[in-house]
Amino acid sequence: MDAKKAAGEKAAEYISDGMRIGLGTGSTVYWTILRIGELVKEGLRIEAVPTSVQTEKLAREAGIPLLPFARLQAPLDLTVDGADEVSPKDELIKGGGGALLREKMIASFSDRFIVVVDHSKCVPELGRFPLPVEVVPFGWEMTSKQLGQMGCEPVLRMKEGAPFVTDNGNYVIDCRFGSIPNAGELTVELNKLPGVVENGLFVNMADLIVVGHSDGTVRTKSGS
Ligand SMILES: O=C(CO)[C@H](O)[C@H](O)COP(=O)(O)O
């Protein structure tokens, strides 16, 4: 069995009737969304907030009732999302799909945040995956230079020959740090740069990590 499918489907087991949930973005949570769609068809009553236009489309196709984030009166019960790297301290790099800002906003407004990954995402230290940083298009060259001065190699993300544009109309600069020994400090420093909207470090946010393996088994680990 596909490791991503195993992890993604497992996370759907944490969803119960009446919940309002956040739906992440990517090829692992894809399986969670499909499974939730099946459960909805079987009678599960939930409402969901998507973290991207891509997920909104998928959730609609799966028949999942949607709720606008702006209308929430209280935190979501649960958000399920993928990650690009997970450290032994359960710190994450996210944003490989470019949805990091909405993902962070929605995970932050959730009582519980479940992360679904295949085993290859669990690393001894964050930083081999280039850290996505969402920046405003105005003066991005200057922001990129400032990011470079923080010890990384910054590269503007491109798509089909033009800068990749997020659902929020911003750019993404992928920052190759190589090693991120202190994610908590780095996330604060990055967000101090005026041109930065948000960065892909998720620190002290994950409540449960669901790790899928290629033999179809799944291990869960409580977030620290
Ligand atoms: O942060 C994300 C999108 O912005 C994704 O969750 C992350 O890139 C992991 O994706 P996948 O499950 O496809 O490997």
Mean pLDDT of 183-207: 98
The ipTM, to two decimals, is: 0.98
**What is the tens place of the pLDDT at every residue in 121-155?**
999 999 999 999 999 999 999 999 999 999 999 99
Annotation-wise, does 220 bind a ligand? no
Is pLDDT above 70 for 1? Answer: no
Q: Average pLDDT of the chain?
A: 97
**What is the tens place of the pLDDT at every residue in 78-108?**
999 999 999 999 999 999 999 999 999 999 9
**Percent of the chain with pLDDT strictly greater than 90:** 98
The ranges assigned to domains in the chain are 3-122+203-214, 131-199
Ligand 1 neighbourhood includes 5 CB (under 6 angstroms): no
Q: Which of 61, 34, 60, 35 is nearest to 49 (CA)?
A: 60
Calculate helix-pair angle for 29-41, 53-61, nearest 10 degrees: 30
At residue 201, the 3 state secondary structure works out as strand
Cβ atoms of 99 and 143 within 8 Å: the answer is no
Annotation-wise, does 81 bind a ligand? yes
- How many angstroms separate the alpha carbon of residue 137 from the centre of ligand 1? 23
Banded model confidence at residue 20, pLDDT cuts 50, 70, 90: very high
Helix runs in 12-52, H state only: 29-41
> 103 an active-site residue?
yes
At residue 44, the 3 state secondary structure works out as coil
- Classified by CATH at the fold level, domain 131-199 comes out as Alpha-Beta Plaits (3.30.70)
Q: What is the pLDDT of residue 224?
A: 64
Ligand 1 neighbourhood includes 146 CB (under 6 angstroms): no
Ligand 1 neighbourhood includes 130 CB (under 6 angstroms): no
Mean pLDDT of 41-57: 98
Is pLDDT above 90 for 178? Answer: yes
- Distance between CA atoms of 102 and 222, rounded to whole angstroms? 23
Mean pLDDT of 193-215: 98
Q: Which of 9, 85, 103, 198 is catalytic?
A: 103
Is pLDDT above 90 for 192? Answer: yes
Q: Does domain 3-122+203-214 have CATH number 3.30.70.580?
A: no
- How many angstroms separate the alpha carbon of residue 82 from the centre of ligand 1? 5
Q: What is the pLDDT of residue 223?
A: 79
